[in-house]
Structure 1
Amino acid sequence: MLDVTVIEDPAAAAASLDPMRAQLLAELAAGPASATMLAGKVGLPRQKVNYHLKALERHGLVELAGERRKGNVTERLMRATAASYVISPLALASVQPDPDRFRDQLSARWLLALGARLVRDVGSLITGAAKARKRLATYALDGEVRFASAADRAAFIEELTAGVSALIRKYDAPHAEGGRSHRIVVAVHPTVKPQADEPQVDHPQVTEPEAPELPQ
C-alpha cells in the first residue's frame, strides 16, 4: 500500500468524495476486509457495500487483497490502494488554478494557486514515474519559525528572496546541453493550528515547503 497517491480522474475524484465510499476507503486503509466485515462497521447491507466497493475498484482506489472461503461462499478481501489520497487539480482541469494569470507575492490566493500547481505537477510526476517503473528525485523543506514582530518577518522574507535569487543566478544554466529544468516553490504563511481557538494575525509563523523536481 502506498502512503499517499494522487487522484487525477474526475470520476475517481467523485467516487472518493462520496461520504460512504470515503468511509469505506478509511476502513480499508486500516487493513483488508470483505463486504460482510465492512457492512457491520458502516451500517449498510452487504449488497450495498459490494456496490460501493465495485465502484471504488473500478477507479483503482481499492484492490483485491485475497479471497477466503466462508461456508459455501468465497469472500473477496479488499484493501485500499493507499493510506491517503490527494485530488489533483487535473480532476477539474477546465477550472484549475493558473498562477500565471497574475503574479502577486503577497497574495494568499496566488500562493494557493501555486500550491495547486505543485499538487498537479508532483502528482503527474508520481504517476509517470510509476508507469515507467523509475524513481522520482524530489526534495522538500518544511520548517517553522516564530517571528517576534512583523518587521522581523519582512526582514526574513527580504533575506530569503535575496538568498534564493542569488542561488538561482549562480546555478541557472538555460543553455546547458542535457540540462534539466526544475521548479522552485518557497512559501511563507501563518501556521494553522489544529483547533482554531484564536486568530493568528499578530504573531504569524512560517512553513517553508516544497522544492519539487520536474520531469526528466
Structure 2
Amino acid sequence: MLEVAVIEDAAAAEASLDPVRARLLAELSEPASATMLAARLGLPRQKVNYHLRALERHGLIELVEERRKGNMTERVMRATAASYVISPLALAAVQPDPDRSPDALSARWLLAVAARLVREVGELIGGAAQARRRLATLTIDGHVRFASAAQRAAFTEELAAAVGALVGKYHDESAPGGRDHRLIVAVHPSLDSRASAAPGGKET
C-alpha cells in the first residue's frame, strides 16, 4: 500500500468523492470483505459490492485474497493507498495556470502554484514508480511567528535574497547532462491565525 496516491483521472476522482465510497476507502486501510464492510457501515452487502466494484475499476482498491465460504467466494479488498490527493489534471480544462497572472503576494497565485506542484509531483511519482527509481525531492515545512507586519516584510526580503543568492550560486544553464528542478518557497498564515486575519480582527 502506498502512503499517498495521486488521482489524475476525472472518473476516478468522481468515484473517490462519493460519500459512501470515500468511507469505504477509509475503512479499507485494512483488508476487509464486502460482508465485513456492510456490517460496519450498516449497508446492504449488494450495495457495498456495487461501490467496491467501482473503486476497483478505477484502481483505488485492490484484491488481497479470495476465500471460499461454502459455495461462495469472498473477495478481500484493500485500498491501494493510505490517503489520496486529487490532481488538477482531473479538472484539466479548468485547472489553475500559475503563468496566467504571476504575483508573489497573491494568495490565489500561491494556490495556483501549489496546484501545479501537486500535478507535477504526481506525474513524477508515477514515472519514478514505473522506472523503479527513487524520486529526489526536498521538503521543508516550518513555523515562524512574526512580532509585526514589519518583521514579516523584513523576513520576506531576506528570504528572497537568500534564495536568490543560492540559485545564482548553483544554477548552471549550460551544464551538460544537467536537469532542471523547480523551486517553490511559500509563506502564509497558519490556520490557527485565522482569528487575527478575520474582518474586524487585528492582523500582525
Q: TM-score range by the shorter chain?
A: over 0.9
Label 1:143 to 1:203 Cα distance change in 2 as closer, same or farther (>3 A).
Answer: farther
Alignment of 1:101-120 (within 5 A): 101-120=100-119
Task: Give structure 2 stretches of 5+ with no counterpart.
Answer: none
Question: Does the CA-based 8 Å contact 1:146-1:203 persist in structure 2?
Answer: no
Aligned equivalents of 1:145, 1:71: Cα separation in 2: 61
Could you tell me how far 1:99 is from its partner in structure 2?
0.4
Alignment of 1:79-90 (within 5 A): 79-90=78-89
Question: Does the CA-based 8 Å contact 1:9-1:91 persist in structure 2?
Answer: yes
Could you tell me how far 1:145 is from its partner in structure 2?
0.7
Partner of 2:59: 60
Could you tell me how far 1:189 is from its partner in structure 2?
0.2
Alignment of 1:1-216 (within 5 A): 1-29=1-29, 31-193=30-192, 199-201=195-197, 202=202
SS at match of 2:68: strand
Structure 1 residues 73-100: Cα deviation after superposition (integer angstroms, max 9, x where no partner): 2210000000000000000011100000
Aligned equivalents of 2:133, 2:46: Cα separation in 1: 40
Could you tell me how far 1:71 is from its partner in structure 2?
3.0
Deviates more, 1:177-186 or 1:61-70: 61-70
CA RMSD of aligned residues (A): 1.3
Aligned equivalents of 1:192, 1:61: Cα separation in 2: 30
Structure 1 residues 122-142: Cα deviation after superposition (integer angstroms, max 9, x where no partner): 000001111121111111000
Could you tell me how far 1:203 is from its partner in structure 2?
5.4
Give the share of equivalent positions with the same residue, in percent: 71
Could you tell me how far 1:48 is from its partner in structure 2?
1.0
Could you tell me how far 1:200 is from its partner in structure 2?
3.0
How many residues of Structure 1 are paired with residues of Structure 2 in the alignment? 200
Aligned equivalents of 2:101, 2:23: Cα separation in 1: 38
Aligned equivalents of 2:131, 2:46: Cα separation in 1: 38
State the TM-score, normalized to the length of structure 1.
0.89
Task: Give structure 1 stretches of 5+ with no counterpart.
Answer: 205-216
Matched AA of 1:199: A
Could you tell me how far 1:113 is from its partner in structure 2?
0.3
Matched AA of 2:60: L
SS at match of 1:145: coil
Matched AA of 1:180: R
Q: Which has the higher helix share?
A: 2
Could you tell me how far 1:67 is from its partner in structure 2?
1.7
SS at match of 1:118: helix
Aligned equivalents of 1:200, 1:94: Cα separation in 2: 36
Deviates more, 1:125-134 or 1:84-93: 125-134
Matched AA of 2:12: A
SS at match of 1:173: coil
